[in-house]
Structure 1
């Protein structure tokens, strides 16, 4: 293969990966914003305090990043402003490589969110992926003078259409919910089952005796062995959900949520809860009074704060506390609605799409 063929292959590989990664995150820009907030928190504590100033703009930054990934990938493949595109992609992958190295080396953010919730990579896997990308982009950079300088008009028009379309999709996903839900709480999932291993967990017991390391499938009964570590042999069998819990002043209420018909109104931050559709929610809550369903208001807040909101809205509902990360994982809206039947997620709604009471009751017939 000649030089031009190699450069074309690199453009295709790098551009395709950028498009794939970007589209997954355009599907869920709120999830990317949550991940950025994690980084800003860590950076403000470990690097410089001014990173905390970026947190209010995390969603806007997320949209810019995910849309840029898609558009730059398309431009690289179609040959639009190739030299500028290579510079931009190079700068972006340097930024991503720094993030993934920081996550892996310091074990601060254990999931970089490179492919959203669709493909989970360990911090080191994410870093090695970025290193490979960086090497490929470096070849494009060093041979940038051999890249085509002109591109057909249709390619420029296509890139513009992709830009507008990606922005539109990102905004739609923010104002509604992700088009495709890759999370462990998606519709149809039995939360209680996802909290259990999918198969019996198997371990290798690493022991030491006489300076030699020996591995066992079962803990050895023979004396004289020194325990070193226990290694999980089938990590794919681990529970998909490990941190779900709900509670109030009476104690743990997790099992209560898994029993019978539940309409759960979720808020990850009461101070930032959008009140634009509270009237619709109020109608839903009050219309379900007397129906064979428990309405629950679950928030990442103190019980006093939760009870205050319930009293202000004059709702006859059950107030429960939950962890903010769990609520954000379940629901990309603040507030949002989750319909549960015997622990199975029947559907989830952004507050902009608050369902009618009859629609909710249909899930329980």
Structure 2
């Protein structure tokens, strides 16, 4: 039992540290997930609508706090530091996570809880099952906590707290150190919009009260169609919602032609207008060159016209879905560089490059 207790402690501690570090690598991604939850709860619980919506502006703070807590508690568990208090906090945290994943799975609301950020996508019921297992393991740790020998000092725990906050701040002020998103540098967007292999389906049919599966649609008309299930789901396109348009029509394929310097300007109060002067200089530096500058925005037509006029951004603007722009760039504004549809560079507004910096990436 003692050996099992130590195995469980290391397993739970390792999972929490891994989960926390993955999310601290991209705290803005977790912020977006929290905002989704707040908006869903505001709709589903109208009596508390103002409360949930009032939390939205603080989602990034909650994100950093929650993700850092996972790492800190995981380290504390590994070194058995203040195990009584740590194990009860872990229990409260996993109960909270279990509620969220159950709500997501049962009501099919937030279909990706972001448990492991964008590194590992889990289906809602898989996430819920994972949390239930962790819940059982943490209860086991509380039951067996007298077995563990506690560390007198919490220096490692303190170091993990400093490191966690520093990692989060770096990712927020610049970009995630490791990019797990489909629009990362090196990816070819048109390729990811296509299946990696032909999609194969099986057909679920019913006849005489019996259900049968077919790889080809049966010619027997006495069968009643029930559903069509994708067999090779891993072959699905990784990007399904990238679309660019303007008032004249679809512009998606045009963004994959030649060299495109794309300025991402998302709708929202977090737009850093002070950085637009440097971005204006960057846009102007490519006038008359083979690198075409353009703006992708989720703002309204009137709002983006106001922004481009006020800050003299002399580049054509096009529209894209706000969620897509959040996935492309965690920065607002941000700079995205494409060459024949392949991502060659991404920059936060705090690291806006000059002309030479862009050309080095091409």
Match of 2:308 in 1: 310
Match of 1:129 in 2: 130
Match of 1:151 in 2: 151
Match of 2:115 in 1: 114
* Residues in 2 aligned to 1:143 and 1:361: alpha-carbon distance in whole angstroms: 60
* Residues in 1 aligned to 2:270 and 2:15: alpha-carbon distance in whole angstroms: 35
Match of 1:320 in 2: 318
Structure 2 residue matching 1:276: 3-state secondary structure: helix
* Residues in 2 aligned to 1:243 and 1:70: alpha-carbon distance in whole angstroms: 33
Match of 1:208 in 2: 206
TM superposition shift of 1:140: 1.3
Q: Call closer, same or farther: CA 1:270–1:152 in 2, change over 3 Å.
A: closer
* Residues in 2 aligned to 1:38 and 1:162: alpha-carbon distance in whole angstroms: 28
Match of 1:92 in 2: 93
Establish whether residue 6 from structure 1 lines up as the match of residue 4 from structure 2: yes
| 8 Å Cα contact 2:38/2:56 also seen in 1 | yes
Moved more, 282-291 or 53-62: 282-291
* Residues in 1 aligned to 2:17 and 2:24: alpha-carbon distance in whole angstroms: 10
Runs of 4+ in 1 over 6 A off after TM superposition: none
TM superposition shift of 1:224: 1.2
Match of 1:346 in 2: 344
* Residues in 2 aligned to 1:320 and 1:24: alpha-carbon distance in whole angstroms: 33
TM superposition shift of 1:270: 4.8
Moved more, 190-199 or 4-13: 4-13
Structure 2 residue matching 1:179: 3-state secondary structure: coil
Give the 5 Å matches for 1:20-39: 20-39=18-37
| 8 Å Cα contact 2:277/2:311 also seen in 1 | no
Structure 2 residue matching 1:205: 3-state secondary structure: strand
TM superposition shift of 1:276: 2.8
Structure-1-length-normalised TM-score: 0.96
| 8 Å Cα contact 1:270/1:299 also seen in 2 | no
> How big is the alpha-carbon RMSD for the aligned residues of Structure 1 and Structure 2?
1.1
* Residues in 1 aligned to 2:242 and 2:293: alpha-carbon distance in whole angstroms: 18
Match of 2:335 in 1: 337
Structure-2-length-normalised TM-score: 0.97
Q: Call closer, same or farther: CA 1:271–1:71 in 2, change over 3 Å.
A: closer
5+ long unaligned stretches in structure 2: none
* Residues in 1 aligned to 2:266 and 2:108: alpha-carbon distance in whole angstroms: 25
Q: Number of residues paired by the alignment?
A: 359
Q: Call closer, same or farther: CA 1:283–1:270 in 2, change over 3 Å.
A: farther
Give the 5 Å matches for 1:184-223: 184-223=182-221
Structure 1 residue matching 2:55: 3-state secondary structure: helix
| 8 Å Cα contact 2:104/2:110 also seen in 1 | yes
Match of 1:101 in 2: 102
Deviations 1:119-157 (A, max 9, x none): 010000000000000000011122334443x4143xx11
* Residues in 2 aligned to 1:27 and 1:160: alpha-carbon distance in whole angstroms: 19
Structure 2 residue matching 1:272: 3-state secondary structure: coil
Match of 1:69 in 2: 70
* Residues in 2 aligned to 1:137 and 1:111: alpha-carbon distance in whole angstroms: 24
Match of 2:295 in 1: 297
Structure 1 residue matching 2:289: 3-state secondary structure: coil
Deviations 1:226-254 (A, max 9, x none): 11100100100000001011111011110
| 8 Å Cα contact 1:303/1:320 also seen in 2 | no
* Residues in 1 aligned to 2:64 and 2:224: alpha-carbon distance in whole angstroms: 52
| 8 Å Cα contact 1:40/1:55 also seen in 2 | yes
